[in-house]
Amino acid sequence: MTSHLPILDIQNLSKFYGAVRAVNDVSMHVNRGEIAGLIGPNGSGKSTFFDCTTGLAQPSAGKVVLDGQDITGWSLNRIAREGRMLRSFQNTVTFKALDVEENLIIAGQMFTFPSLASTFGLGRLSRSRINGLRERARELIKMAGLWDVRHQQAGNLSGGQQKLIQFASMLMPEPKIILLDEPMAGINPKIIERVVETIQYANKSLGVSFLVIEHNIDVVTSICQRVVVLDQGSKLVEGLPQDIIQDQRVREAYLGG
Amino acid sequence: MSLTDTAPQARRRDLRIPLAAVLIVVALAAPLIGTRYVTHSLIIALIFMLPAHGLNLLVGYTGLLSLAQAAFFGIGAYTAGLLAVHLNTPFYVNLIAAGLVSGAIALPLGIPALRLRSTSFVMCTLGFVIIGQAISKNWISLTRGDMGLSGIPKPYFELGPLSFAISGTTSFYYLALAVCVIGTLIAWALVRSPAGRNMVAIRENETLAESLGVPTWRYKLIVFMLSAAFAGVGGCLYAHYLTVVSPLTFQMYYSTTMLIIVLGGGAGMISGTVLGSLLFVGLTEALRVAPELRMIAYGFCLLVLVFWFKKGLAPLINRFWNAIGGSK
């Protein structure tokens, strides 16, 4: 812990689509080493908030500060590459035609090669970088329990296994913080356990902070240290998970009160 | 990669190296064995091979369908032709200039075009061919319009005190072969590099690649320029071989031929493009013996391909290559 500043600080973020205020003046932060949760009913603006934070969409107003640096307006790839803030997508995505190992190597490439031009190299340096990535990929593959299928095409694996690939891919670049968009959606309980373990391992052993959108309230209460609730584009409440689930306003929001 | 090695089985001989040796000998001896017409057909195939390699980088590896190859092919042909006619520059200067000019022109064209998605991008690249033809027809002071540039000298080299010209069909074949071998090696190196892996990532899922730090936009622009440079080099060979360049160089037929080579040979595979150019260009030339049936036969071949080899010939080549590779 080099600083007490939050790893991610989002200030007064808004996103308007014409007259629709998808996200309206939301501020929140994620502390170093924390697993924070973001919950809210469908259509409450969680995903839009994620997109604006990670550069997939540009916010209409507000500021995003990552590890002390203002990254508002940066593109998705720059935030990932230079900010080491990685994100997942709601629909599981992998490079389906490539095998598991290649998926992970791609995930690490832009963090190992110092420039775009250097990726065109085929020399000894380039090969040793790739070998380094392959070793790291294999470690993460073992950790994710995908060793037996490492040479299979990602597209041939189950949804849960692809989730794990995606998760392992995000650990390749040694990220500072990972934003997960519904990591547990559509996977069976056994894999849920494994994903939870992986998140906790990354958090404790690798020091990665997390911001997690999740509907599975058991998962939220078991892994998150702090939860922010969005409703209709605005921040409704923020607090400890056990307090949040008792909160009357949160219950009303979910029940469409 | 001996991880998959198991207990010793009856080992077959690895036939890949002998086969490669045979192919090299055939490539070198072709003009000596075959008729002049065979040599001519092979030269045409070689001229199309480099633009097809460029297109394969774009379509097969990066997943961007482009019909602009004929435009850059034409730009390369005119660049080489104008240099050779007006300045009488040696062949290698024309070759490099054709690649550089085509690649450079791809930059301002690619910046707006690559902002478009899928079908809009295809239509836009089609527009480049039409615009290219219109310019070559109407910029008469430079291109002599429909009359075209004629009298492009045969390629010549100047190496120190040594100076020699490539005059015959046979020697032109060796020149084109050398250029294509180098071009193929460059294409192979590109797709083998980490950048090649990023291209495939963009093809497979652009947003995911982007989220993993890959600057997809810059890669697409670079590959677009590289593919144009490959087309330009092909255009230079074309100009020097035919000794005439006219606005007809900018024709859709060439773009589609290059696309058939890539898709038919097997997109995303270098050997597929090599085989594709020999097969599809060689085939159209060879079918000239039966002119009345030529296009019908060609069309039939394409139908067979579409129905039975949806992924082109590449999987077939792969299987064959592994089969002759001896037992594991």
Sequence-separated (6 or more) residues with CB below 8 Å from residue A41: A231, A253, A254, A256
B284 in any annotated domain: no
B269 in any annotated domain: no
> Domain span at residue A123?
94-173
- Asked if the C-beta of B185 comes within 8 angstroms of chain A's C-beta atoms, the answer is no
Measured in angstroms, the CA of B18 and the nearest CA of chain A are apart by 27
Count of beta carbons in the 10 Å neighbourhood of residue B35: 9
A89 in any annotated domain: no
Whether A163 and A211 map to the same domain: the answer is no
Q: Say if strands A35-39 and A61-66 run parallel, antiparallel, or are unpaired.
A: unpaired
- Asked if the C-beta of A153 comes within 8 angstroms of chain B's C-beta atoms, the answer is no
Whether A203 and A228 map to the same domain: the answer is yes
Whether B288 has a pLDDT exceeding 80, the answer reads no
Whether A75 and A48 map to the same domain: the answer is yes
pLDDT for B297 equals 77
pLDDT for B327 equals 52
CA neighbours closer than 13 Å in the CB half-sphere of residue B94: 33
Q: How far apart are CA A44 and CA A48, in angstroms?
A: 9
Measured in angstroms, the CA of A96 and the nearest CA of chain B are apart by 7
Residue B3 pLDDT level (bands cut at 50, 70, 90): very low
- Asked if the C-beta of B218 comes within 8 angstroms of chain A's C-beta atoms, the answer is yes
Q: Do B198 and A98 touch (CB under 8 A)?
A: no
B310 in any annotated domain: no
Tell me which of A173, A203, A228 is where a domain ends. Answer: A173
pLDDT, tens digit, 9 for 90 and up, residues B181-212 = 999 999 999 999 999 999 999 999 999 999 99
- Asked if the C-beta of B286 comes within 8 angstroms of chain A's C-beta atoms, the answer is no
Whether A6 and A78 map to the same domain: the answer is yes
Angle between helices B118-138 and B69-82 (to 10 degrees): 30
Whether A191 and A79 map to the same domain: the answer is yes
Whether A18 and A132 map to the same domain: the answer is no
Lowest mean pLDDT among A47-51, A86-90, B277-281: B277-281
- Asked if the C-beta of A176 comes within 8 angstroms of chain B's C-beta atoms, the answer is no
B242 in any annotated domain: yes
Tell me which of A158, A173, A188 is where a domain ends. Answer: A173
User: Which residues of chain B lie closer than 8 angstroms to A113, CB-CB?
Assistant: 194
pLDDT, tens digit, 9 for 90 and up, residues B124-182 = 999 998 998 889 888 888 888 888 888 888 888 877 777 777 778 888 899 999 999 99
Whether B7 has a pLDDT exceeding 50, the answer reads no
Please count the structural domains in chain A.
2
pLDDT for B5 equals 46
A180 in any annotated domain: yes
Whether A16 and A54 map to the same domain: the answer is yes
What are the CA-CA distances from residue A105 to residues A91, B126, B195 (Å)? Answer: 21, 36, 12
3-class secondary-structure state, position B286: helix
Among B212, B217, B221, B269, which would you mutate to test the A interface (most chain A Cβ atoms within 10 Å of its Cβ)?
B212
Whether B2 has a pLDDT exceeding 50, the answer reads no
Whether A185 and A72 map to the same domain: the answer is yes
Nearest beta carbon to residue B198 from set A94, A106, A172: A106
B186 in any annotated domain: yes
The reported pTM is: 0.89
Residue A1 pLDDT level (bands cut at 50, 70, 90): very low
Please count the structural domains in chain B.
1
Whether A161 and A184 map to the same domain: the answer is no
- Cα(first)–Cα(last) distance of chain B, in Å? 11
* Mean pLDDT value across residues A17-26: 89
Measured in angstroms, the CA of A196 and the nearest CA of chain B are apart by 22
Count of A-B CB contacts under 8 Å? 92
Whether A154 and A193 map to the same domain: the answer is no
* Mean pLDDT value across residues A115-135: 91
CA neighbours closer than 13 Å in the CB half-sphere of residue A90: 9
- Among A67, A57, A60, A55, residue whose Cα is nearest residue A29: A67
> Domain span at residue B178?
35-254
Task: Provide the mean pLDDT of chain B.
Answer: 86
pLDDT for B1 equals 41
| Contact predicate B114/B217, CB 8 Å | yes
Q: Do B214 and A109 touch (CB under 8 A)?
A: yes
**What are the structure tokens assigned to B53, written together?**
């390699």
- Asked if the C-beta of B209 comes within 8 angstroms of chain A's C-beta atoms, the answer is yes
Q: How far apart are CA B271 and CA B262, in angstroms?
A: 10
Q: Do B207 and A129 touch (CB under 8 A)?
A: no
**What are the structure tokens assigned to B295, written together?**
């296009």
| Contact predicate B67/B205, CB 8 Å | no
- CA torsion sign for A61, A65, A69, A72 is negative
Lowest mean pLDDT among A138-147, A205-214, A239-248, B295-304: B295-304
Whether A69 has a pLDDT exceeding 80, the answer reads yes
Whether A80 and A188 map to the same domain: the answer is yes
pLDDT, tens digit, 9 for 90 and up, residues B252-282 = 888 988 998 898 888 888 888 998 898 888 7
Sequence-separated (6 or more) residues with CB below 8 Å from residue B303: none
- Asked if the C-beta of A89 comes within 8 angstroms of chain B's C-beta atoms, the answer is yes
Please indicate whether residue B328 or residue B158 has the higher confidence score (pLDDT). B158
Furthest C-alpha separation in chain A? 64
Whether A135 and A151 map to the same domain: the answer is yes
